[in-house]
């Protein structure tokens, strides 16, 4: 692909406005933040002279030219990995992620990721604003967490979706909900966990609640069902979790913090071996087959970043979690 050359003459209506703003209004397929970068990089000239200040005030009849560089080749290579596509148009794609699929390349996972699959599926349309190793990615799910995930396919969609995820639903546009099978019975049927998270000093792969800083993290939960063990003791619960923030391992770390880690979570629930011994034979067998945390992103709603249409999607529980749920119900 080659660089794009775009040229126009400023109008009277644009006089006095910022250069980056005028560019983003003239060419709405590229975000204002991207134009700021292009201006600072010397990719814009006015009447033949390079201008590197995004806040430069435009005068009428000035000829403005911008060179939009061709997308850099993505470092990850395209790989033919099947995708469960729930929705797709020219601007975005929604997939139902299976367990075991890593979102983007990183140490130990340079191939076989969702990004590799998306590059093969979407080609040059995939946004690179998130970086060459994370093109189009605006949120993520852990490797072994299943469920719905949206990816931007161009710069405009990336900016619009990023804004919504940054607001975490506070403006009413974004909705994310998860289903989790957790150990034990919760004291309250619903509640909020407001506890900052940071990486654990002794295990950088694990998040822990911080009392001296960390990143603000809030999870709202609601108990949907409870399942008994011996006597009247609740052995496990089906919980809906909604995020007010989006931190690494947030639901897993928060539920473990209040004493109810997800079933199958080797990182945060390793201390519940005794509880696992109280499962029925069928439930124990289903948990052994699961081999991961029983956590599924089952609901995703957002405003389409281009059309402004309200989109909502739901994903049924995957077979392995559903089998565990069924065994708990019948146990």
At a CB cut-off of 8 Å and minimum separation 6, what does 305 contact?
A: 91, 92, 152, 156, 157, 158, 159, 160, 161, 164
- Considering 96, 142, 144, 265, which one is annotated as catalytic? 142
Q: How many CB atoms lie within 10 A of CB 81?
A: 16
Residues in the chain: 331
d(CA 140, CA 131): 14
Taking the alpha carbons of 317, 323, 324, 326 in that order, is the dihedral positive or negative?
positive
Q: How far apart are CA 212 and CA 30, in angstroms?
A: 40
* Residue bearing tokens 């080749």: 73
Q: What share of the chain is helix, strand, coil (3-state, %, to 5)?
A: 25, 30, 45
Whether 124 is catalytic: no
Q: Could you give the residue numbers annotated as active site?
A: 142
């Amino acid at each position: 692909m080659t660089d794009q050359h775009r040229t126009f003459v400023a109008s009277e209506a644009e006089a006095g406005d910022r250069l980056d703003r005028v560019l983003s209004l003239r060419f709405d397929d590229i975000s204002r933040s991207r134009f700021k970068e292009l201006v600072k990089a010397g990719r814009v000239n006015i009447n033949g002279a390079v201008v590197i200040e995004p806040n430069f005030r435009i005068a009428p009849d000035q000829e403005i030219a911008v060179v939009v560089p061709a997308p850099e080749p993505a470092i990850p290579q395209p790989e033919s990995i099947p995708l469960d596509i729930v929705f797709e148009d020219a601007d975005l794609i929604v997939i139902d992620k299976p367990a075991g699929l890593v979102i983007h390349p990183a140490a130990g996972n340079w191939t076989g990721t969702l990004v590799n699959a998306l590059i093969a599926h979407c080609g040059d349309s995939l946004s690179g604003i998130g970086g060459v190793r994370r093109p189009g990615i605006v949120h993520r799910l852990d490797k072994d967490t299943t469920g719905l995930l949206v990816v931007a396919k161009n710069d405009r969609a990336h900016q619009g979706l990023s804004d919504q995820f940054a607001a975490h639903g506070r403006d009413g546009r974004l909705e994310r909900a998860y289903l989790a099978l957790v150990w034990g019975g919760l004291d309250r049927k619903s509640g909020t966990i407001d506890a900052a998270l940071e990486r654990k000093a002794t295990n950088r792969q694990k998040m822990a609640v911080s009392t001296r800083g960390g990143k603000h993290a809030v999870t709202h939960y609601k108990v949907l069902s409870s399942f008994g063990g011996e006597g009247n003791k609740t052995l496990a619960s089906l919980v809906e979790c909604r995020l007010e923030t989006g931190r690494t391992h947030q639901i897993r770390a928060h539920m473990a913090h209040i004493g109810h880690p997800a079933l199958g979570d080797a990182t945060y629930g390793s201390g519940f071996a005794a509880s696992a011994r109280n499962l029925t034979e069928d439930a124990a067998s289903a948990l052994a087959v699961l081999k991961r945390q029983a956590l599924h992103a089952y609901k995703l709603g957002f405003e389409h970043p281009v059309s402004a249409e309200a989109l909502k999607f739901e994903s049924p529980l995957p077979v392995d979690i559903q089998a565990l749920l069924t065994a708990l119900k019948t146990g």
